[in-house]
Structure 1
């Protein structure tokens, strides 16, 4: 397996992301602490917020197209109102060098995660040329499993579980919970079947 390499244009990507999130920069700093669970109540706040949002979606009982429209309206409203609130609460003088360094670190970690995910997707698709049999076995198995799960379980519930997983995953990785569970599984006593 090829080693992951950092793209040469990562600094340019960081600068672009910093410009893109310019209006959100005062909101990004507290969101980092919530996403990485710097307080014990942060995971509960994440689960509660997502649960409330999906409860409202379930309560409205809209069809799929109307649900996408309402979510789009909500995201546009949030994208408009957050920079306005941040600029009115925090003036330009409240932005310090420490804030800028933290903001740049956040942007660098977002870009690095994006590049790593893109690299993994490219590696998967490169298997089409290097190992077509394995590529088709994996992709067909994954798509059949996804179709079976999607037809068996409510799609809104699946989106709810995926949203909670995606929002809790950075905190799980930051706290080392996944590695702890993995090491516990590896340390578990192995039982071997005895042949008679």
Structure 2
């Protein structure tokens, strides 16, 4: 099995590229980090509420798939244009401190590390094709059949809503240790004894 690891130098280059890419939005990224990591008690409610409003608007527009992608693309382009303009007008260059730069670099490192970890997991799954083809096909076919069944049974917009909400809440769940707490509670549950 081939190892797919990223060297420290490659990871630093990825962080530098990401920092340059997000340069205009860096003042908006720092408050967004606190919301994503649930630094206040109301942050999970704000995430769920924002996603719910967005999907409610998509549901109200009742567009077909292609038009929905076009509207989402227009919205993302608008945000990409307006956020740097607002950040530059509200905050001058003197408001960016060394502490802000350190936090910004930590956010970029975290994004790159999670991206590389996800990419490594995908590569590891596809390496099963050579090392254990039977396991690879069992896993891939069962996942695709399950995905097809769920997608045909449940409204796709609702599925995207659930997926978006879970993806946006997941960093806070991990940061707060909620998932590990739930796993430890499941492991500590009393085992039922079978009577003979």
For the residues of structure 2 that align with 1:187 and 1:22, how far apart are their CA atoms?
46
CA 1:3 to 1:42, structure 2 compared with 1: closer, same or farther past 3 Å? farther
For the residues of structure 1 that align with 2:194 and 2:135, how far apart are their CA atoms?
30
Matches within 5 A, 1:13-162: 13-162=14-163
Report the Cα offset of residue 46 of structure 1. 0.3
4+ residue segments displaced more than 6 Å: 1-4
For the residues of structure 2 that align with 1:107 and 1:130, how far apart are their CA atoms?
34
For the residues of structure 1 that align with 2:20 and 2:185, how far apart are their CA atoms?
43
Whether the 8 Å CA contact 2:19–2:105 is kept in 1: the answer is yes
For the residues of structure 2 that align with 1:177 and 1:131, how far apart are their CA atoms?
34
Report the Cα offset of residue 192 of structure 1. 3.0
Whether the 8 Å CA contact 2:2–2:127 is kept in 1: the answer is no
Cα deviation digits, residues 64-83 of structure 1 (max 9, x gap)? 11111111111100110000
For the residues of structure 1 that align with 2:181 and 2:150, how far apart are their CA atoms?
28
Unaligned 5+ runs, structure 2: none
Cα deviation digits, residues 90-142 of structure 1 (max 9, x gap)? 01010000000000000000000000000000000000000000000000000
For the residues of structure 2 that align with 1:108 and 1:138, how far apart are their CA atoms?
32
For the residues of structure 1 that align with 2:184 and 2:6, how far apart are their CA atoms?
28
Q: 1:139 aligns to what SS in structure 2?
A: helix
For the residues of structure 2 that align with 1:3 and 1:104, how far apart are their CA atoms?
27
Residue in structure 2 matched with residue 7 of structure 1 by the alignment: 7
For the residues of structure 2 that align with 1:114 and 1:90, how far apart are their CA atoms?
30
State the Cα RMSD in Å: 1.5
CA 1:187 to 1:3, structure 2 compared with 1: closer, same or farther past 3 Å? farther
Report the Cα offset of residue 193 of structure 1. 2.3
Cα deviation digits, residues 22-62 of structure 1 (max 9, x gap)? 00100000000000000000000000000000000000111
Kindly tell me the number of residue pairs found equivalent between the two proteins: 195
| TM-score under structure 2 length normalisation | 0.96
CA 1:123 to 1:186, structure 2 compared with 1: closer, same or farther past 3 Å? same
